[in-house]
Structure 1
Amino acid sequence: MSNVGLILEEKAADIGNFMVGRLLPFRQKRHVGPFVFIDHMGPAKLKDYQNLDVGPHPHIGLSTLTYLFEGSIMHRDSLGSEIEIKPGAVNWMTAGKGVVHSERTPEYLRTTDKTLHGLQIWVALPKELEDMEPSFVHVEEDKLPNWSDDNADYKLIAGQFREYTSGVPVYSPLYFIEIKAKNDFKVSLGQDLYGESALYVLEGEIKDGDFTYGTKQLLVAKDAKLCEFEMTAGTTVYIFGGEALPEEHFIFWNFVSSSRETIDKAKEDWINDRFPHVPNETGRVPLPEAQAKSKLKE
């Protein structure tokens, strides 16, 4: 019998000059634990004249996590951070009461062919921390907990799992785990998971009961404690989840909050240029007109 309670098909979304595959949120499922937004970027083959250019844009009430498989992104934010994100490292920016950042192809890659592939994730903050001071942490790949057995290589990208704790400073109980199968084998993690849980197959396939699942699907577990599945050799999966936050959260554009009034204020602040500026950047991504006139997403 399958433990998959919901299958969400990756859907195309436009983030400006770049198409991504959206995994969360969906009408059927707004969050998995504290995870409220996941975009799968690429894999995109970019020509020498094509670049990622997401100009300065704001966030409130969340932490962003960028994790690349291939390629490179230059991150700049209103805290003064300026760092190149490379595959395997974690970029963790906590917006709190408000932060602005840009994401661009690094200058040295802008006139060459390149590939961009990765995940961009939003994690909602607990209500009492939504107005905290913004912060930024970059954790290199060799600083993340990793371990291996005869069948697979494991990495804890964020949160806590078994005796391992990632150096990424999360604000509620969660986990974000990478598993790369070396052989065909059965994975049994349920006794160590908590809260809500979902699985994304990056490459390869898994089997759960009589069902086989491949890429471009987000599989939401009926019960995290029953998390068992079979992986085929060469498959890479990401398991994420944790304790759901008790309060309802709303999403409007790049803003996440348990308060509609806070989001309305953030909209007005962005329109009136009251957010901090990003050093060495010009221009700002405008508040989407159509969204500004619509109801908040529920």
Structure 2
Amino acid sequence: MTDRSLIAAHLAHRDDIADLVTRRPLPGPGLPQIDPFLFLNHHGPQTYAPGNHGLPFGPHPHRGFETVTFILEGSLAHHDTGGHAYVVDAGGVQWMTAGSGLIHAELSPPEFKRDGGPMEILQLWVNLPGRLKMTEPRYTGVQADAIPVLPLGEGSDLRLVSGSFADAQGPVDSLTGVFMSVVSLAPGAEVRVPAPADRSVFLYAVRGAVTIGGTPLPQWHLAELSHDGDTLALASEAGALLLFGHADPIGEPVVAHGPFVMNTREEIVRAIHDYQAGRFGDPAGLRI
């Protein structure tokens, strides 16, 4: 086993949405994507007062990729034109395959708007290969108690969302074999996790700082890693929370326009036309 090395640490850009504190490490000036990982928004942490407006993500379309949303604090109510409706609470995850296209809303439940409270959410976009971009949309919502918590030693653990680890299987069945998890490192911990050399690794420091093979990755930074090994040596002096995943690179052209990610400009134009023609479904009733 050989440890991968850190090429660069990319700081998340602050880009608030309405009153929602938002940091975005990907895409960034020096890193347009980590194929197939396209985009990450880190919302919060912040505390909403009672009588708030909640999350600002009213009905909007997607085609050609998947959204994976981690609710670290607070809650999120999801409705979409595929007929899926679910409320994910703190510690839970939702995995939506937009595929051929749908419209969804991601808003705060009425109770959160009434009472307020802490909020921290991560949303990751994962690309689909051309052969799956027009697949039928699907949705999986998973609460915290359905996510295996696997010990890494020294008081640290890995919450397994998709893929396999230590003879356990994550509750989400990824179309493309994506491994996705949330890693919690205790103060002073030093652990190793598998990171196959032929796969793209996504590693973001949500809270706290870590070192990768002795090289610092500060809080709110995304790791750009070499392919020179098959494990990651992680250590944290004060403790840390990490978003950690890996996947096979797709190696296809990426043409993105707002909420659509396809392989060609012509496919983007078709997505816009299909959306405008109502082929993504009727968004009436998606506001919560």
**Distance in 1 (alpha carbons) for counterparts of 2:221 and 2:12:** 6
CA distance in 2, matches of 1:90, 1:133: 20
1:137-176 → structure 2 map (5 Å cutoff): 137-151=140-154, 152-161=156-165, 163-176=167-180
Q: Distance in 2 between matches of 1:194 and 1:178?
A: 21
Identify unmatched segments of 5+ residues in structure 1: 284-298
Which residue of 36, 39, 49 corresponds with 1:37? 39
Q: SS of the counterpart of 2:114? A: coil
Q: Secondary structure at the match of 1:227?
A: strand
Q: Which of 176, 181, 192 is residue 177 of structure 1 equivalent to?
A: 181
What are the residue-to-residue correspondences of 1:257-268 with 2, within 5 Å? 257-268=262-273
CA contact (8 A) 2:72 2:121 kept: yes
Closer, same or farther: CA 270–25 of 1 in aligned 2, 3 Å: same
Moved more, 93-102 or 212-221: 212-221
**Deviating runs (4+, > 6 A) in structure 1?**
none
Instruction: Kindly provide the CA deviation profile for residues 204-241 of structure 1, in whole angstroms up to 9, marking residues without a partner as x.
Output: 22123554332111112112525223223532222222
Matched, 1:281 2:286: yes
Amino acid at match of 1:113: G
Which shifted more, 216-225 or 37-46? 216-225
Is the 8 Å Cα contact of residues 59 and 254 (structure 1) preserved in structure 2?
Answer: yes
The Cα of 1:75 is off from its aligned counterpart by: 0.7
Find the counterpart in structure 1 of residue 82 from structure 2: 79
* SS of equivalent to 2:183: strand
- Aligned pair count? 283
1:4-38 residue CA offsets vs partner (Å, 9 max, x unmatched):
11221101224455341112122432322421111
Q: Is the 8 A contact 1:89 1:141 kept in 2?
A: yes
1:94 aligns with 2:97: yes
Q: Deviations over 1:147-169 (max 9, x none)?
A: 11431111112234453331212
CA RMSD of the aligned region, Å?
2.4
The partner residue of 1:250 within 241, 255, 258 is 255
TM-score by length of 2: 0.88
**84-93 or 164-173: bigger deviation:** 164-173
| Runs of 5+ unmatched residues, structure 2 | none
How much has 1:261 moved relative to structure 2?
A: 1.2
Amino acid at match of 1:143: A
- Specify whether residues 248 and 269 from structure 1 end up closer, same or farther in structure 2 by C-alpha distance, changes over 3 A only: same
- Matching of residues 228-243 of structure 1 within 5 Å: 228-243=233-248
Contact preservation (8 Å) 1:126, 1:171: no
Q: What percentage of residue pairs aligned between the two structures are identical? A: 26
Secondary structure at the aligned position of 1:111 is classed as: helix
Say whether the 8 Å CA contact 1:25–1:37 is kept in structure 2: yes
* Counterpart contact for 1:22–1:38, Cα < 8 Å: yes
How far has the Cα of 1:83 moved from its partner? 1.2
Aligned twin of 1:288: none
Structure 1 counterpart of 2:25, one-letter code: L
Q: Which amino acid aligns with 2:75?
A: S
Instruction: Tell me if 1:25 matches 2:27.
Output: yes
Shift, 1:114, TM fit: 2.1
71 and 78 in structure 1: CA distance in 2 versus 1, 3 angstrom threshold: same
Partners of 1:164 and 1:35 in 2: how far apart?
A: 24
Return closer, same or farther for 1:128/1:201 CA change in 2, 3 Å cut-off.
same
What is the rounded CA distance, in whole Å, between the counterparts of 2:83 and 2:120 in structure 1? 25
